[in-house]
């Protein structure tokens, strides 16, 4: 079994991180997220909870759309499901309030693979059932 090293996510003061990334990933130490992005991450988790009641399973499907690497993430819950498409574009974009209200799938653009890995693990940690694994 492969497992990602569990680390504590540190929230740092400020409105953005180093170089426009979602998570700072120093060679040694814990990953860090800015206060502003931590609020956006909490909002994403809340929107998922609203639509699923509670998450029963999380499925990740890596693929490519054009020349962009992506991870499709599906959260299935008691009251429905939520689909995210995480795309490595070199920039960061969170879903808007309108996206949450109307879009059948929420799109999140990420600067690099580090952000994709940490975002998926943070979502699983915050929304997943402790005895279940990400598939």
Token pair of 110 as six digits:
């990420």
In a domain, 135, yes or no: no
User: Does 70 fall in a domain?
Assistant: yes
> For residue 107, what pLDDT is reported?
97
Structural domains of the chain, count:
1
Reported as a pLDDT band with limits 50, 70 and 90, residue 6 is: low
Query: 26: pLDDT confidence band, cut at 50, 70 and 90?
Result: confident
Flag whether 81 is in a domain: yes
Residue 55 sits in which domain range? 10-127
Return the sign of the alpha-carbon dihedral for residues 90, 96, 98, 104: positive
The torsion region of residue 46 among left (phi > 0), alpha (psi -120 to 50) and beta comes to alpha
Burial, 119: exposed, middle or buried (Cβ in 10 Å; 0-12, 13-18, 19+)? buried
In angstroms, the CA 109 to CA 112 distance is 9
pLDDT at 44: 98
Instruction: Tell me whether residue 118 is in a domain.
Output: yes
Beta strands in the chain (DSSP E): 10-12, 23-24, 32-34, 55-65, 68-77, 81-88, 105-110
* Residue 14: partners with Cβ closer than 8 Å, 6 or more residues away: 34, 35, 36
pLDDT tens, residue by residue, 91-118: 999 999 999 999 889 999 999 999 999 9
Write the pLDDT tens digit of every residue in 42-96.
999 999 999 999 899 999 999 998 999 999 999 999 999 999 999 999 999 999 9
* 109 domain-assigned: yes
Q: Is the pLDDT of residue 25 over 90?
A: no
Q: Determine, yes or no, domain membership for 37.
A: yes
41 belongs to a structural domain: yes
Is the whole model's pTM more than 0.95, yes or no? no
26 within a domain of the structure (yes/no): yes
């Amino acid at each position: 079994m492969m497992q990602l090293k569990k680390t504590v996510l540190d929230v740092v003061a400020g409105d953005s991180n180093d170089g426009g990334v979602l998570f700072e990933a120093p060679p040694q130490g814990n990953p860090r997220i800015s206060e502003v992005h931590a609020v956006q991450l909490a909002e994403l988790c809340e929107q998922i909870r609203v639509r699923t009641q509670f998450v029963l399973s999380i499925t990740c499907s890596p693929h490519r759309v054009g020349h962009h690497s992506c991870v499709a993430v599906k959260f299935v819950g008691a009251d429905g499901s939520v689909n995210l498409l995480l795309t490595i574009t070199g920039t960061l974009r969170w879903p808007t309030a309108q996206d949450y209200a109307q879009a059948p799938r929420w799109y999140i653009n990420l600067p690099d693979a580090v952000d994709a890995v940490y975002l998926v693990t943070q979502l699983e940690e915050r929304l997943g059932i402790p005895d279940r694994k990400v598939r």
